[in-house]
Structure 1
């Protein structure tokens, strides 16, 4: 099996939850992975980059 290389990593806020979206070298589309806590250190909502889903 090939090794997954992380190309893009963004956090998507939806419904009060934050989701990490990543794009791999083996998948040209964005895939949502497990939700993460919205708090990252002293991060605020402005620190999260929204993405559009199809």
Structure 2
């Protein structure tokens, strides 16, 4: 391990990803691509619905 990433940094990564346009983001030390995938999918769908022009 090169360094320990502080929890605050994961929050920054999450915020940055959302600013880039990612509809759903989970950032943490043990998060993997399938981590809570269902919850992340629902979050992404909800954000797209609120952002979509009508």
TM-score over 0.5 for the alignment? Answer: no
Quick check: which one's helix share is greater? Answer: 2
TM-score, normalised with respect to structure 1: 0.26
Structure ID, larger Rg: 2
Quick check: which one's strand share is greater? Answer: 1
TM-score, normalised with respect to structure 2: 0.26
